Structure 1
């Protein structure tokens, strides 16, 4: 099994973190996402259908889109995804939610600060900030009942790994992380195999 990623990608981070936390053997190869697509590794170009990281190659399958990859690995290794129907459904719901919520607004805010791009025009930045505060508020509310993990209180699920993908970069986006969410992130940081993205990827 081989994973392609880059340290700037929260999507790649969430997948590699899940693999390392569960000691799932794999190769890792960095893709220069700032290079021309034509200059990237041939194996990556031929298999990454949308030209993005992460890409996971396993058993002659090319798997793309981070949350889809998490579902594949969780099913294949029977890890991070409850077999109880209600918990499984909740987990999948969180994956769908993350992709268009916290996984959309936070990386946009971070990119504008990280790469010193032109200031966002008009209402773009306030809109993204409002989205972030609303989205992280939902996570905070769920965790405020004292649970350890997002879905199954006994163990972290792939929902936890998915949601942390860009929250680990919150400081680079200059946005606050509320207290219950901060403590939840700290529990993830204490899992075996955790390293910051610039070390893990």
Structure 2
């Protein structure tokens, strides 16, 4: 059994999607981020950085893992899927996972924060993060023109990217401008495990609906 400490954020949803895809038993523990529950001593003992998500693997002597990318790798290795064993394929998957963690997530996250909460105060900052997020979408679109999935086969690299791309409307990005990315997004949106994972720990708060080849899903 896995204890999942999470909240309704893209990084949190990476892990819930992975758990659903892998069919692993887990118990969800939502954290109230606005009340700074993630900074409480009990949680810092699990996640020293004071951020979600984090997991505790009860079957491994209550082994705790923090940082979403590290969690995805751990779960994939434990289950023996979503991360190739062959060295080159494994490296390619990890490269794109690191790309998401170091680029797409941080840049789009900053764009979202400034667009939603400081739209009239720092236009140059908004422009900078929006432009970089659009560039990164272009990188992903080019890769998905070469491969069906981000790293070739469906993997934790796709799972890491999906919840961020699901917030494209927050960043004022049109998926129609990235046809390969739009195709990929529609395919992942139709996966039952992705749909279930996107509802953990609660239905998304945002009212916006994302259109994907005639199919609508709620995102946050």
| Structure 1 length-normalised TM | 0.88
Is residue 79 from structure 1 mapped to residue 81 from structure 2 by the alignment?
yes
How has the CA–CA distance of structure 1 residues 38 and 187 changed in structure 2, closer, same or farther, with 3 Å as cutoff?
closer
Question: How many residues were matched structurally?
Answer: 195
Higher relative contact order (CA closer than 8 Å, sequence separation 6+)? 1
1:193, 1:174 → 2: CA distance? 27
Instruction: Please name the residue that 2:211 is paired with.
Output: none
Instruction: Please name the residue that 2:47 is paired with.
Output: 48
2:172, 2:197 → 1: CA distance? 17
Please show how residues 81-160 of structure 1 align to structure 2 within 5 Å: 81-114=83-116, 116-117=117-118, 119-121=120-122, 123-145=124-146, 147-153=147-153, 156-160=154-158
1:110, 1:139 → 2: CA distance? 19
Report deviation, 1:37: 4.1
Report deviation, 1:195: 2.4
Instruction: Please name the residue that 1:179 is paired with.
Output: 179
Instruction: Please name the residue that 2:160 is paired with.
Output: 162
Structure 2, unaligned runs of 5 or more? 202-220
Report deviation, 1:167: 1.0
Query: CA offsets, 1:93-135, max 9 Å, x none?
Result: 1111111211111111122333x33635263122112211111
Query: CA offsets, 1:21-58, max 9 Å, x none?
Result: 22111111110111134885x64343121110001111
Structure 1, unaligned runs of 5 or more? none
2:102, 2:132 → 1: CA distance? 10
How has the CA–CA distance of structure 1 residues 39 and 70 changed in structure 2, closer, same or farther, with 3 Å as cutoff?
closer
